[in-house]
Amino acid sequence: MRTLFTVVAALAVSSPLLAQGWIEPAPGIRCECAVQRTRTVVSVRVTGRIARVEVEEWFRNQGGILGQGDYLYPLPGEAVFSNFSLFQGDQELTGETMDAGQARSIYEEIVRRKRDPALIELAGHGLIRARVFPINPGETRKITLRYTQLLARAGDALQFRYAAGRQTGLTPRLGVEAPSRAPEAAPLSFQMVLDSAGQFRDPFSPTHQVHTDRMGARLTVRAPENLAGDFTLFLPLARGLVGLTLATHRPSSEDGYFMLTLSPGNGRGEAAAQPRDVTAVVDVSGSMSGSKITQARGALRQLLASLNRSDRFRLIAFSGNVRSYRGGWTQATADAVSAAQRWVEQLTADGGTNIEGALREAFSETSPEQRLPIVLFVTDGLPSVGEQNPERIASQAEQAHGRARVFAFGVGYDVNTYLLDRLTAAARGATQYVQSDGEVETALGSLITKISTPVLTDLQLADAPASLREIYPAQLPDLFAGEDLVVFGRYSGGDTRNGRLVITGRRNGVTERFAVDAVFPSTDQTNDFIPRLWASRKIGVLTRTIRLEGATPALEREIRETALRYGILSEYTSYLVQEPAPVVINQPLRGGISRRSDRAPASAPAQASGAGAVRMAAEAQGMREAKSMADLDALAKPEAAMDRSDAGSRRVAGRLFVQRNNIWVEALASDSLRLVTVEPFSQAYFRLLEVLPELKPYVQAFEHVVIAGRNARIEIAAGGVQRLGAGEMDRIVKEFRGR
């Protein structure tokens, strides 16, 4: 839950920092003081299902007069809290707790009074409020909050939420003068300690990166110091071979979203019994000379060292010719591994690149049902010997790979991304692209560690109480020890659906079933990170489909509409930035903007190799495999560079806006769409953000803005409607979302 801290200054400027708890002047008081949060320490201790939370916050009065007001602290709206206590130093404060419904009016009143929508992120959260004792100029006082929380169940896991705000004010809103010196973000530390580490698998967060540490019976989880937004943490229970964690989100009557996480054991006991047949195919052509061949040899040594005695292996090196270490499978005994390592040390780089021959040899040996066949394929070049047509090579490989899982590594830019992606897509694997100066050994080593202990293969979603659709990945990959598998999808059905969610998979040739009690609710405002992660997976899959099967207007349109609705940058939306005159204004004040022409954006580049092709293939893979909001943030880094490339245009949450006559208008807001204008900070404004939460990033970024939906535009501007009836609100939602 992070600290939302406002500068208690003359209220004419917007509050620059919002995070965790903050001190708010009492209504009607104009305070020239400057009370700032300087530090926050959050400590959580979990025993069974009970979390005991302690929040320590230090506030300093930087002004010249006495500082006073109310201490406000946001709480997750649906959580159950007890044993609440609050202290300012050694003096206990009298406070009150409010549920989300009670707290909403307070948040809205502050937003309306300051005319700054930064606090709208907290709509739906509960609230603790207490009057604090005055803080003298130059004085620092500590506020300590303690409460107990019953952790919610999420399938075979416990779920912990911490309500955090956003750091805002770095970019002044239009018409609002920025403070001369914005306060620096105060350091925040978060640590959770679980008393019985053996009861839990490794915790994971879909919203932030976390670090875990096990020491005896103690399990510690730490969040990054730049923690922002709502922090969600799942604590999988160590029950059975595989744990199933289910989270849902359904803010309206449209189909809901779900996130299903499969958490396997740590590789001990039963999970280690799955034997493998591992084939390593390594390019040793002339272009692999130097550091590449050295790293490739190191990676093969890692692979051989990772084999269990129950495993079998094959080693294949190819250049213009293809040669194997021994014929058939070799049992991974200590002597056999040592002999193979000596063979690896003799590998040198020379000659052309016979990819077709290497793949034919890799798939020449079959494996019995009780063994898992895995092929690692490493190349840095294009086919130059034998068959050189990528389509024919890929087609032959698809027919020959059988049950083998194929993991490919493309080193550098002279690789055929079409060939590698098609090869792995058909064989339940993945392609990883390594820069020319990248660490081949490190990348291969990570994969070798991941696939060292298979837990379940041939996974399927066998049954669920709700109708599930648009599931990504559509074909579930194999499950390996120590690596969570995260699945995103949509669910339909008007009423809440309860029942058993069932996953099946094969282990040692035998089909096994795993089930968990699941609830797919009719409404669920929590876990609002799920829709964007689902959309990222969808766009990544559609982008790969275009690259493998060719572009169609329908595919391109689906990518654009998904990217624009969920605020995700894609190659089919970013093209707008590069057009010299992408939009023209048709109506100066109440009109939208239209495209210069109706032509579709350029299709994905036809070339399958080169720096651009590798970059786009790697980005599409990153979108297909995104597990957390941190993954999406990493993928969106190029967006930040574009945002300020032109003073007249800005990209916010994946959408492009242009400025005309002090109005920020979305580039796709065609005048053919119905326009609804809403008065800022009115009753209609807050209700609109409640039913269309996807609008929040844009109203936070701009004071006067026009946002495009599927069949309607929404404008936030003075003079708009102040109240909307339930029927009209439903109509706006349906038109904006197009359903």
Model pLDDT for residues 579-627, shown as the tens digit of each residue: 333 333 333 333 333 333 333 343 434 478 888 888 888 888 889 999 9
Contact yes or no for 644/657 (Cβ under 8 A): no
Domain-embedded: residue 319: yes
- pLDDT above 50 (res 382): yes
Contact yes or no for 416/388 (Cβ under 8 A): no
User: Given CA atoms 170, 175, 181, 187 in this order, what sign does their dihedral have?
Assistant: negative
Amino acid found at 339: A
pLDDT of residue 715: 95
Domain-embedded: residue 380: yes
Same domain, 321 and 443: yes
- pLDDT above 60 (res 174): no
Q: What is the pLDDT of residues 649-706, one digit of tens each?
A: 787 876 778 888 889 998 777 888 899 999 999 999 999 998 888 888 899 889 999 9
Same domain, 361 and 432: yes
Domain-embedded: residue 601: no
Helix/strand/coil for 680: coil
Q: How confident is the model at residue 146 (pLDDT cuts 50, 70, 90)?
A: very high
pLDDT of residue 269: 45
Domain boundary among 212, 236, 260: 236
Same domain, 486 and 341: no
Average pLDDT, the chain: 82
pLDDT of residue 442: 85
Whether pTM > 0.85 for this model: the answer is: no
How far is it, in rounded angstroms, from Cα 211 to Cα 223?
7
| CATH number, residue 314 | 3.40.50.410
- pLDDT above 90 (res 200): yes
Contact yes or no for 635/622 (Cβ under 8 A): yes
How far is it, in rounded angstroms, from Cα 736 to Cα 709?
4
Domain hosting residue 467, numbered range? 242-270+454-528
Q: How confident is the model at residue 436 (pLDDT cuts 50, 70, 90)?
A: low
Backbone φ and ψ for 267, nearest 5 degrees, come out as 100, -5
Domain-embedded: residue 570: no
Contact yes or no for 488/471 (Cβ under 8 A): yes
Token pair, residue 443, equals: 């990348």
End-to-end CA distance of the chain: 34
How far is it, in rounded angstroms, from Cα 430 to Cα 410?
11
pLDDT of residue 465: 95
Q: Using alpha carbons, select from 181, 268, 260 the residue that is nearest to residue 484.
A: 260
* 17 vs 517, residue with greater confidence: 517
Best-predicted range by mean pLDDT (105-109, 174-178, 644-648): 105-109
Contact yes or no for 248/175 (Cβ under 8 A): no
Q: At what angle do helices 334-345 and 291-306 cross, to 10 degrees?
A: 180
Helix/strand/coil for 577: helix
Asked which of 19-23, 196-200, 420-424, 620-624 is least confident by mean pLDDT, the reply is 19-23
Backbone φ and ψ for 432, nearest 5 degrees, come out as -120, 135
What is the average pLDDT across 725-738?
Answer: 88
How far is it, in rounded angstroms, from Cα 266 to Cα 118?
42
How far is it, in rounded angstroms, from Cα 534 to Cα 571?
18
Q: Following DSSP, what letter does each residue of 130-197 receive, concatenated?
A: EEEEEE-TT-EEEEEEEEEEEPEE-SSEEEEEE----B--SSPPTT-PPPSSPPPPPPEEEEEEES-G
Same domain, 479 and 441: no
pLDDT of residue 340: 96
Domain-embedded: residue 718: no
> What is the residue whose two structure tokens read 């690692």?
376
Contact yes or no for 583/593 (Cβ under 8 A): yes
Same domain, 208 and 106: yes
Domain-embedded: residue 354: yes
Q: Following DSSP, what letter does each residue of 119-130 receive, concatenated?
A: GGGGTT-EEEEE
How far is it, in rounded angstroms, from Cα 138 to Cα 319?
73
> What is the residue whose two structure tokens read 């190799």?
609
Asked which of 30-34, 124-128, 404-408, 445-449 is least confident by mean pLDDT, the reply is 30-34
Q: How many domains does the chain have?
A: 3
Domain-embedded: residue 264: yes
pLDDT of residue 652: 80
Contact residues for 611 (Cβ-Cβ < 8 A; gap 6+): 413
Q: How confident is the model at residue 266 (pLDDT cuts 50, 70, 90)?
A: low
Same domain, 279 and 266: no
Share of the chain above pLDDT 70, in %: 84
- pLDDT above 50 (res 738): yes
Same domain, 446 and 459: no
- pLDDT above 50 (res 522): yes
How far is it, in rounded angstroms, from Cα 156 to Cα 153?
7
Q: What is the pLDDT of residues 311-363, one digit of tens each?
A: 999 999 999 999 999 989 999 999 999 999 999 999 999 999 999 999 999 99
Q: How confident is the model at residue 431 (pLDDT cuts 50, 70, 90)?
A: very high
Token pair, residue 223, equals: 């969040």
Domain-embedded: residue 10: no
Q: What is the pLDDT of residues 12-53, one digit of tens each?
A: 223 334 447 888 876 555 555 578 888 889 999 999 999 999
Same domain, 205 and 292: no
Same domain, 114 and 250: no
What is the average pLDDT across 462-479?
Answer: 94
Domain boundary among 416, 434, 450: 450
Same domain, 296 and 389: yes
| CATH number, residue 116 | 2.60.40
Same domain, 392 and 486: no
Asked which of 249-258, 528-537, 651-660, 723-732 is least confident by mean pLDDT, the reply is 651-660
Q: How confident is the model at residue 173 (pLDDT cuts 50, 70, 90)?
A: very low
Q: How confident is the model at residue 119 (pLDDT cuts 50, 70, 90)?
A: confident
Contact yes or no for 231/457 (Cβ under 8 A): no
What is the average pLDDT across 150-155?
Answer: 91
Q: How confident is the model at residue 644 (pLDDT cuts 50, 70, 90)?
A: very low
Same domain, 148 and 30: yes
Domain boundary among 471, 497, 528: 528
> In Å, what is the CA distance from 84 to each residue of 257, 364, 472, 497?
33, 67, 42, 34
